[in-house]
Amino acid sequence: MTDPKIPVTEDELHAYIDNELPAERRGDVEAWLTAHPDDAARVQSWRAMADALHARYDTVLDEAVPKRLEIERLVRQPRKWIYGAVAATLVAFIAGGGAGWVARGVAASPSAFQNFTLDALDAHRLYVVEVRHPVEVAGSERDHLVQWLSKRCGYDVMAPELDGTGLKLVGGRLLPGPEAPAAFLMYESPTGERFTLYASRADTQTTQMRYAASNGDGAMFWADRGVGYVLSGPTDKTRLNQVARLVYDQTEKTGAEKTGG
């Protein structure tokens, strides 16, 4: 083994999961995970996510891929797509600039960005291509959807009205989040353009909005009053910012009214 005191990096954790870690470093990483249960839990979560993605996509790698999905790289390099997309997105989120809202509180820790990026973007990629079953509860049952998600997520979930950006609510579903259940909402334009909003309780108060783009998908992340949000969609930053601003304005206003702030 090499010097076990050398901190294990994020890249090494991903390489460990993907069986691409140099043999001389593997023992150090395993010792690190034994001594750092939080990292061990993250590795377990990432491995489960990778297994789920492989289970979903490996059986269709030889099928013709619609051009609009732009995932040819997934067909050529399935394993690298899974971790390369995640790594690129995490770097963009952690180092990226804001979209115009100045932080008004404690900045989000890297783990908050990581967890939300992993869960939200993979949920977006998993469900945005669905035709018959993209959601559990249809947008026509908005009141029921909001009540159900609020009860399960433990805070007042809202489904923002995005008609001003040409987007209609398709519906939503409940998903596991990094720290608590997550609300997942899907919106669609008349041309089939889809955006998803992933929201869950986060160990942070209010953060600046950040932008990331990876493998044909873009996302905006921010947090407000202990709830984290990730809006995912096309990579057009202007378009994402337009939609994210409308979501932010509505959720921030509702939160301020409830807290009297």
On whether both 34 and 119 belong to a single domain, the answer is no
What is the model's pLDDT at position 246? 94
What pLDDT sits at residue 132? 87
User: Is the distance from CB of 154 to CB of 183 less than 8 angstroms?
Assistant: no
According to the model, what pLDDT value does residue 5 have? 58
Is residue 116 located within the same domain as residue 171? Answer: yes
Is 88 a member of any domain?
no
**Could you give the CA distance from residue 37 to residue 97 in angstroms, rounded to a whole number?**
31
All residues at 6 or more sequence positions from 15 whose CB lies less than 8 Å from its CB, including other chains: 21
Q: What is the dihedral of CA 134, 246, 90, 16, to 10 degrees?
A: -30
Q: Specify the long-range contacts of residues 216-223, CB closer than 8 Å, at least 24 apart.
A: 216/69, 216/70, 216/71, 217/121, 217/124, 217/125, 219/89, 219/93, 219/117, 219/120, 219/121, 219/124, 220/99, 220/244, 221/93, 221/113, 221/116, 221/117, 221/120, 222/101, 222/248, 223/108, 223/112
224 and 152 housed in the same domain: yes
Residues 136 and 247 in one domain: yes
Report yes or no on 176 lying in a domain: yes
Mean pLDDT per block of 10 residues along the chain (261 residues) reads 64 80 88 87 72 54 49 40 42 37 38 65 91 93 96 94 95 89 96 94 73 80 87 91 93 62 51
Burial class (CB in 10 A: 0-12, 13-18, 19+), 51: exposed
pLDDT value of position 258: 57
| Residue 153: domain span | 98-259
Count of domains forming the chain: 2
Distance linking the first and last C-alpha atoms of the chain:
55
CA distances from 170 to 67, 140, 156, 161, 189 (A): 23, 8, 20, 12, 10
Domain-embedded: residue 111: yes
CATH of the domain at 113: 3.30.200.100
Q: What is the pLDDT of residue 64?
A: 55
Distance from C-alpha of 218 to C-alpha of 204, rounded to nearest angstrom:
23
pLDDT for res 71: 39
